[in-house]
Chains A and B, each alone.
Chain A
Amino acid sequence: MKRGGKPKLLWLQSITCNGNTHSFLNHPDLFSLLSHFELLYHPVLEAEYTLQDILEGHVDCDILVLEGAFREKGVAKGGVEISSVIEYYAKQAAHIITAGTCATFGGIFKQYDPEHITGFCFDIEEKTTRHKQYADKLISLPGCPIHPKWLGFVLMMIAQKRPIAKDTLHRPLELYAPTVHTGCARNEYFEWKVDTEGFGLKEGCLFYELGCQGPYTHGSCNKILWNDVSSKTVSGTPCFGCTEPDFPKTTLFETKTNMGIPAAMPLGIPRRAYLTVTGVVKSFKIKRFEERLIEYDR
């Protein structure tokens, strides 16, 4: 980056559904945000260079945003292996952001060819050979899709030359240290172990029956709301755990239980402690939690 110049931002895609590109377009301050950068290339936004220019290596970048899962061979754009293009720019970039779960861990596209398709620096949670080379500039932003404001936050931190604290998977702690459960509007029902009676209802918790992974998934979905208004769990859909390396699991709408006991415990909670509390709390019937919040037919 030239002294005093804007950081040069390059967005490259590999094996992707475009979900992260589209999600980013929902950032309410997208153009204000982008005004802090020199946008070299983006798959759908007007930018300074064409894809052909990028493939030919005519530019240099400061921030490389990667979208999509990675395969060494067999994925080409304009007749050029995209893996070689990514490596070319990854070497010169000061920051590499893997945007979305596919670019970070392999994600949904890994299911197609589990042996060869991975994230850029992680294969699920195992480090790939590239990790060592790029670890010092890697920022993981998993999510399916990425939350536009999480990407916005990271870009602005880079623009302002602020340090970003990360976990062992390189996820920014500011965004991924809490669980998705944090801030969920249904926490009161979780505390008192009251199940919801169905998808989309305002009442009840989705953890016990309907597969919610919020209590053991890292992310700020209920702190930084989607479209500034809601989240999966608030609207009555279970969290699918999309920021975690093992995403996607199966049977996303059903809690796996062993004789009624959730197979996965809330993050860091010992099973014995959880079951003791649950057994006690379930012994109480709280009338308020058995009623609808709003009786629409009255």
Chain B
Amino acid sequence: MTDKKALKRESIMQVALQLFSNNGFHKTTIPDIAAKLGMSVGNLYNYFKSKDILAQEIIKYTSEILGEQIREVNMLDISAAEKIHKIVEIYFTTAKEKPEMIEYFLRVYLSNREVFSDGCQGMVCVSGFTTEIMIFFDDAVSSGELRNQDFFSAFGLFMGYLGGMVFLKGEGVLPQDIDYYIDDISRNIYNALKA
């Protein structure tokens, strides 16, 4: 793929990501996305063969972006408690500055499983993100900082907590800005998982 085509593909995903997150997956049509980009519907289909495929590519795209940031944290020579703080910070900062990315995960990916059942089963499309969380856990247990347990009991606690907070933010029920909760939530997660 040429650079120009790759850039166009990415801009389609970014616009679709916003529309899907803001207006819902089913209420957003391919003509809506094409119109916002100023391109023809036919041309958009040259990049993505269907709305479902576009939706699947977006979850891979967002997962890779978040995963890349967590990867940088994993490479740092800091304690597990500090890494947890940084991961929470990344997640909440993304929710604040690019809310559509987290909203997409919560309100499109998790809420429209039929769209993702063929091609994005299980971890297939979110492995960019989950792999880095696995590496974080593996390192932290190896160093004796976190308690060894089943992956999903720890993963659910960590990500379920963050997802829940961002969901509450999206509903407009949090009395404080989401940044306000970073320190306490990081400490809570560490206390729950520590050895």
Contacts and interface: CB of A to CB of B under 8 A. Distances in A.
A279 B131 contact: yes
B127 A259 contact: no
A259 B141 contact: yes
Contact of A275 (B122, B131, B148): B131
B154 interface: yes
Max chain A CB contacts within 10 Å: which of B127, B128, B148, B150? B127
Interface string B161-183: 00000000000000000000000
Contacts of B154: 259
Given A271-B135, A275-B131, A259 B151 contact: yes
Contacts of B138: 258-259, 261, 263, 271
A272 B151 contact: no
A258 B122 contact: no
B54 interface: no
Contacts of A271: 135, 138
B122 A272 contact: no
A275 B135 contact: yes
A91 to B, nearest CB: 46
Contacts of B152: 260
A112 interface: no
B137 A280 contact: no
Contact of A282 (B123, B135, B137, B148): B123
Contact of B151 (A261, A263, A283): A261
Interface of B: 121-124, 127-128, 130-131, 134-135, 137-138, 141-142, 146, 148-152, 154
Interface of A: 257-261, 263, 271-272, 275-276, 279-280, 282-284
29 contacts: A258-B137, A259-B138, A259-B141, A259-B148, A259-B151, A260-B150, A260-B151, A260-B152, A261-B134, A261-B137, A261-B138, A261-B151, A263-B138, A272-B131, A275-B131, A275-B135, A276-B128, A276-B131, A279-B123, A279-B124, A279-B127, A279-B131, A279-B134, A280-B123, A282-B122, A283-B121, A283-B122, A283-B123, A284-B122
| Minimum-distance CB pairs A-B, first 8 | A283-B122, A260-B151, A258-B141, A279-B123, A259-B137, A279-B127, A283-B121, A258-B138
